[in-house]
Structure 1
Amino acid sequence: MGSMRGNHQLLSKVATNDEHGEDSLYFDGWKAYDKNPFHLTKNPTGVIQMGLAENQLSFDLIEKWISKNPEASICTREGVKAFRDIAIFQDYHGLPEFRNAVAKFMGRVRGDRVKFDPNRIVMSGGATGANETIMFCLADPGDAFLVPTPYYPAFDRDLRWRVGVKLLPVICDSSNDFKITKQALENAYEKAMEANIRVKGLIITNPSNPLGTMLDKPTLKTLVNFINKKNIHLVCDEIYAATIFAGAPDFVSVSEVVQEVENCNMDLIHIVYSLSKDLGLPGFRVGIVYSYNDGVVSCARKMSSFGLVSSQTQYMLASMLSDDDFVERFLSESSRRLANRHKLFTEGLQQVGITCLNSNAGLFFWMDLRPLLNEPTTEAETALWRVIIADVKLNVSPGSSFHCSEPGWFRVCFANMDDPTVLVALERIRDFVDQKKGGGEAAPPQQKKKRWDKNLRLSFKARICDESVLSLSPHSPIPHSPMVLART
């Protein structure tokens, strides 16, 4: 094998640069889990994966639908008659029935208050590919996008690595629950102007990853007015649109708001969507670019040849998403289960004095561990995180990896595990906090007698542990390289 220096001479600048962001603590946590994954019986002292934003709470509903609709798959006896038509080449537009079904589903998730045009649906390999595609369409290397903090760590990979786009933080903080303000937007924009950086747009996630909060209509109108005034693009990543908890306010999409903003330049508005979170299907790699700009739609469709969704996947999902009764039941039940799981975790933390940002969406919550820091610094946050990984054996993601401006916040994912694992994770957190408050060191996790009170009982029937799925994250085919894992 050649030396690293030799490899750098042989490989491209893209292959050898550091813009992929894999040196983040966010990905270090994944590597720690991969080395020692928790298993309820085979490895009960392993690391529990709480850094994976994956929705596994409603798989049974999808499995039941598949069993009742075998003809939806070309790999079954009932569906094989369609095999030849689906297996041959399909154009970049995608199957018409798939685009129609996705457009209808997107409208349903947004309360049917807005309709989506199937001819503007552009496919991509997951939201990762969709975000990169939209950046290729909108920006040149060196151009910048504003992004409110805290933000999804892999944006550094998705938007910067191959496209060469800069990400400029719009600083948000806990003084107003991390809400985006017009002043923060103006400050970030002016700072870019002073540095002679060309700002091409603003990218947001709504609902927010990692906050689990939704942007209200006034805030969205502020954002739309801001980008119109500056004549820059607005990219709205809405992949958590259907993860709204039961009883929460309705999700408001930018597609609804732009209809109410006077003289809005629709050519500046773009939506990224996926079925990875709302349906819990990241392995299907269904990403969507939806743009109101004809030029972007045309360009993105040409680029989609580099990351099409398989025609087999399109065929099955077209049938599933066209089943109105199933979609209605799934969205309602998924919302209820997410609300129950979120409540279970956050109330369990409250019992030991740990608070979380008030949230109503997503597959995670934003946990406040600032009282446990030795000092209010990023270094102290990192030291606390290393104890949680090494001793408590929980992979929770530190706020610094999300570019949070305040040390001590952590993202905790709650929907990617079965019920017994939930109780183990809660017990570990409880023991750790008790020991920290008592001035002691965290004890290694071990099998202990459960001591939860009646208020922490599971609020829905525990499902049987399947040993084949208790390894909670998809493992990389390249050891310890989370960059190839599904978007989280």
Structure 2
Amino acid sequence: MSKTKLLSRIGQKASQNPMRVDLELYYEAEENRYQPKENPSGKIAMNVAENHLCWEMLRERIQKITRENDIPEWVASYTDPAGAPTFREATAAFLSKFLTKIHLPAESLAFSGGATSVIEMTAFLLGNPGDTAVIPAPAYPVYTGDIGALPGLKRFDLQTHQELEELNSGVSITAELLQKAKEEIEESGSTFRMLILTSPDNPTGMIYSQSQLEILADWCEHNEIHLIVNEIYGLSRIDISHPDLRQDYPQPIEFVSFGKLMAERKSPWLHLWYSFSKDLGISGFRIGLLHSYHEALISGYRNAGLGHSISNYTQWVMQEVLKDEAFMESFIQKTQERLTESYLIVVNSLRENHIPYQASYGSLFVWMDLSLFLTDESEKAEQELWLEIYQEIGVLLTPANGFGHQKRGLFRMVISGVDHPTLKEAMGRIQKFCQSKKETS
């Protein structure tokens, strides 16, 4: 008897379907990691969305806190499953000052162990198995598992564009496009339960304007569909005013947090996701949150979320970090400066090689178009090109497979997981690869 037969239907599916297509190669690359002196021919993994740009600053601050402060009594006991009261207050103050720019009440927050847990819990509480979540493509591949593996929701990839240049003036998502998707979903026998946006976006780095968010919120409220905006990269923004970048933003869009619109409407149909994993570069701390004025949703989160709770010790340490506003302001500023430097290293190299890329407003990525090197317009050819890049030059990117976009030959590069010398090494290798392909074509 097959061992998978001993599992539930969900268990069998989970055991046979990897979380993402590039995970096995990531582990392989990490075992043979590039080191300029010790291992100059090693691999450079640029496919996992981690931010190591300012970890040394945060580590020093955390070590100072743990050295100089006694651990409070409440840390050793149970606390509110949605988050310890003092931690919720510190986080609400942090988000109010740096992200939403408007008062965010602590009671509107519920926490879980990482963004994945937050997405899963929200989908579980708002949707029924078989319902559909609409997501503009391309979008984070693991959304599929987050909303589907346990909550049982389906993913609908909304095609808003074909070529990168169509995004120059923003994501072309309209009420008409959503209405068409709604009709298609209902004809298939499902229910359009939620619309999920990511701003800044993964992988394109695009943002949604305030006017767009208002139009989409109007449509969702009218149709009684939940609109969720994921602002996990909300503070990881590129300095688009930099002299070397201005040319890419002829009609710049201003980032305005969805939290501002939520505070104005206090609608039960509008929600926001956030996590400390990306902006603060502490994915290993596992801190994610839901912000909503839907009181029953927050109550349901508290009642059903005990198994997803964050350790009290982590909550205590991070509340002490967040309360130091001067440090947090310095940290965010330095992170954005280094992120912009990383972005410049990548796009300057792509420009030199005439490789199209999407001008990014934020996030940890560059979304590039290598379709010139495809043998044909197929997923198989895209997969072969991705493996060829890894095997020949040792740079591991994320292929478009799973992002839900129709165009082939697009790849995502994480620009925040390695230092600047390593990033330059990676771009040098990519430059050689592109030159070689052009010479042999």
Q: TM-score, normalised by structure 1?
A: 0.82
User: What is the CA–CA distance in structure 2 between the aligned matches of 1:185 and 1:111, rounded to whole Å?
Assistant: 26
- CA deviation string 1:138-181 (max 9, x = no partner): 01111111111101011111111111111111112225217142
- Segments of structure 1 that go 5 or more residues without pairing to the other structure are 441-488
- Which residue type is aligned with residue 372 of structure 1? F
CA distance in 1, matches of 2:282, 2:135: 26
The question of 1:94 aligning with 2:94 is answered no
- The residue type paired with residue 181 of structure 2 is A
CA 1:164–1:302: 2 relative to 1, 3 Å: same
Tell me whether 1:220 sits opposite 2:218 in the alignment.
no
- 1:85 and 1:225, CA in 2 relative to 1: closer, same or farther beyond 3 A? closer
Q: In the aligned structure 1, how far is the partner of 2:25 from the partner of 2:115?
A: 22
Match of 1:462 in 2: none
Give the distance between the partners of 2:210 and 2:15, measured in 1 at CA. Answer: 34
CA–CA separation in structure 2 for the residues paired with 1:272 and 1:135: 12
Q: RMSD of the alignment, in Å?
A: 2.1
Q: For the residues of structure 1 that align with 2:272 and 2:173, how far apart are their CA atoms?
A: 21
Could you tell me whether the CA contact under 8 Å between 1:148 and 1:180 is conserved in 2?
Answer: no
Kept after mapping to 2: 8 A contact 1:149/1:169 = yes
1:176 to 147, 162, 166: 166
Q: How far, CA to CA, are the matches of 2:19 and 2:119 in structure 1?
A: 21
Map of 1:364-383 to 2, 5 A cutoff?
Answer: 364-383=365-384
CA distance in 2: counterparts of 1:66 and 1:154, whole angstroms: 30
Residues 1:82 and 2:82 are matched in the alignment? no
Q: Give the aligned residue type for 2:232.
A: I
Question: Which residue, out of 139, 144, 164, partners 2:152?
Answer: 164
Q: Distance in 1 between matches of 2:204 and 2:263?
A: 27
Change (3 A) 1:341 1:34: closer
Aligned 8 A contact 1:147 1:203 in 2: yes
Which residue of 132, 139, 159 corresponds with 2:120?
A: 132
Give the residue type in structure 2 aligned to 1:365.
V
Aligned position for 1:50: 46
| Number of the residue aligned with 2:58 | 62
The answer to whether structure 1 residue 406 and structure 2 residue 399 are counterparts is no
The structural deviation recorded for 1:434 is: 0.6
Is the Cα contact below 8 Å between 1:205 and 1:236 reproduced in 2?
Answer: yes
Deviation at 1:35, TM superposition (A): 5.4
Number of the residue aligned with 2:260: 256
Q: Which residue of 2 aligns with 1:190?
A: 183
Taking the TM superposition and a 5 Å limit, the aligned residue runs for 1:437-456 are 437-439=438-440
Which moved further from structure 2: 246-255 or 300-309?
Answer: 246-255
Query: Is this contact kept in 1: 2:379–2:408, CA < 8 A?
Result: yes
Residue pair 2:262, 2:271 contacting (<8 A) in 1 also: no
Residues 366-406 of structure 1: per-residue CA shift (max 9 Å, x gap)? 11112222222222211211101211211111122311211
Residues 18-417 of structure 1: pairs in structure 2 closer than 5 A: 22=18, 24-34=20-30, 36-67=32-63, 70=64, 72-73=65-66, 76=67, 78-79=68-69, 81-82=70-71, 84-110=73-99, 112=101, 114-173=102-161, 174=163, 176-177=166-167, 179-182=171-174, 183-247=176-240, 250-258=254-262, 266-417=267-418
Counterparts of 1:217 and 1:20 in 2: how far apart (Å)?
42
Q: Aligned pair in 2 of structure 1 residues 265, 94: CA closer, same or farther (>3 Å)?
A: closer
Does structure 1 conserve the Cα–Cα contact (< 8 Å) formed by 2:139 and 2:203? yes
Partners of 2:259 and 2:414 in 1: CA distance = 28
Deviations 1:431-482 (A, max 9, x none): 1001000017xxxxxxxxxxxxxxxxxxxxxxxxxxxxxxxxxxxxxxxxxx
Question: For residues 91 and 393 of structure 1, what CA distance do their matches in structure 2 show?
Answer: 46
Give 1:213 deviation, angstroms. 1.3
Greater mean deviation of Cα atoms: 171-180 or 193-202: 171-180
Q: CA deviation at 1:34?
A: 4.4
Contact 1:29 1:51 in 2 (8 A): no
Take 1:111 and 1:202, find their aligned partners in 2: how far apart are those partners? 20
Taking structure 1 as reference, are residues 311 and 23 closer, same or farther at Cα in structure 2, changes over 3 Å only?
Answer: closer
Structure 1 residues 333, 34: CA separation in 2 closer, same or farther (over 3 Å shift)? closer
Contact 1:143 1:166 in 2 (8 A): yes
| Superposition deviation, residue 339 in structure 1 | 0.8
Partners of 1:265 and 1:118 in 2: how far apart?
A: 14
Deviation per residue, 1:175-226 (Å, 9 max, x gap):
5217142133222212101112111111111110111111111221221122
Q: CA deviation at 1:247?
A: 4.3
Task: Say whether the 8 Å CA contact 1:120–1:290 is kept in structure 2.
Answer: yes
8 Å Cα contact 2:228/2:273 also seen in 1: yes
SS in 1 for 2:305: helix
Number of aligned residue pairs: give it.
425
Q: Is the 8 A contact 1:122 1:289 kept in 2?
A: yes
Match of 1:17 in 2: 13
